[in-house]
Amino acid sequence: MSNPPGPNASAGQRLIWAVETLWQGNRSAAARDLKISHGLLWAIAAGKRSPGRRVVTAIAADGRINVDWVSSGVGQPLLSKSETLNPCTVPVALRLLPGPPKENAGALSTSLREVAASDFAASRYCCLLGDDLRPELYQDGLRAGDVLLLDADSALWFRNSDFLRDRWCAVRVRTDALTRIELAKLGRQIDGRIALATDIRPRTPAIRSRRIDLDDELKDPPKRIAEPDSIEIDDVVGVVVKLTREFL
């Protein structure tokens, strides 16, 4: 058996290594067991496609391949049955944290949430999306009540900045007025900064129309706080590694 590819390899190369290892090179059997098309698996092997959401969901359901390793190259490639079935617990945060849970104990609830051993890490915590979800996040597919499992281990993205691309992340937003933690989807890294693929401007109340008189025109208009359209990698404080939607 060859050594598993690391963070410098593509997600497709890591997935194909796992498939070749578990199914002894029988890609047809792998596609059948994973319930994905044979052609899709061959396209990934040829480097023409990358593992998308359908493939990631399929390997997570199978339970033998570590999804986080496929995405980042970090961790153990293969999981034993005991690793996927034995539950562990992670803390539940009252809000998005500016760092690892052990450094932000005051922002944790008294609740714990069970996760599979393959999803457990000391740097992980859960956060429940509330009813005050920003409209743009709703449009991007998130819903109030969704449970996010976040990892605050910065080594994940400092080793490989591409790990953050197209992922939901907790980011530190710095403006002249304040610093806050927001949920945003990240885009490409450009000139050392990571583009924000989500509008993170705070909601402002609608301004009612009113008659403008001369005195109003002489007053200085209120200053609008400039919101960034990109961030430094140092401002990433967590990455969503799993989303659970619970129907109540």
The tens digit of pLDDT for each residue in 218-240 reads: 455 544 444 567 788 889 999 99
- In this prediction, residues 182-193 reach a mean pLDDT of 81
Residue 101: the pLDDT is 94
How does DSSP classify residue 196?
E
Contact 237, 170 (CB under 8 A): yes
* Confidence bin at 54 (pLDDT 50/70/90): confident
Residue 142: the pLDDT is 84
**CB atoms closer than 10 angstroms to residue 184:** 24
CA–CA gap between residue 226 and residue 175 (Å, rounded): 7
184 by DSSP, 3-state: which?
A: strand
CATH architecture of 11-79: Orthogonal Bundle (1.10)
Residue 187: the pLDDT is 82
- In this prediction, residues 9-20 reach a mean pLDDT of 92
CA–CA gap between residue 164 and residue 161 (Å, rounded): 6
Q: Please choose, from the candidates 245, 243, 6, the residue with its C-alpha nearest in 3D space to the C-alpha of residue 119.
A: 243
For 161, half-sphere exposure in the C-beta direction (CA atoms, 13 angstrom radius) is: 16
CA–CA gap between residue 123 and residue 145 (Å, rounded): 22
Structural domain boundaries in the chain:
11-79, 86-194+231-244
- In this prediction, residues 55-77 reach a mean pLDDT of 85
DSSP states of 65-116: B-HHHHHHS-S-SB--HHHHHSEEEEEEESS--SS-GGG-GGGEEEEEEEEE
- In this prediction, residues 81-103 reach a mean pLDDT of 80
Whether the predicted pLDDT of 217 surpasses 50: no
- In this prediction, residues 159-188 reach a mean pLDDT of 83
Whether the predicted pLDDT of 209 surpasses 50: no
> Which of 11-20, 111-120, 232-241 comes out lowest in average pLDDT?
111-120
CA–CA gap between residue 134 and residue 125 (Å, rounded): 21
Residue 202, token pair as written in the block: 């705070």
Residue 214: the pLDDT is 45
Element (H, E) at 231: strand 230-231
Residue 30, token pair as written in the block: 């792998």
Q: In percent, how much of the chain has pLDDT > 90?
A: 24
CA–CA gap between residue 17 and residue 145 (Å, rounded): 36
Output 172 or 229, whichever has higher pLDDT. Answer: 172
pLDDT, tens digit (0-9, with 9 covering 90-100), for 144-159: 888 999 999 998 888 7
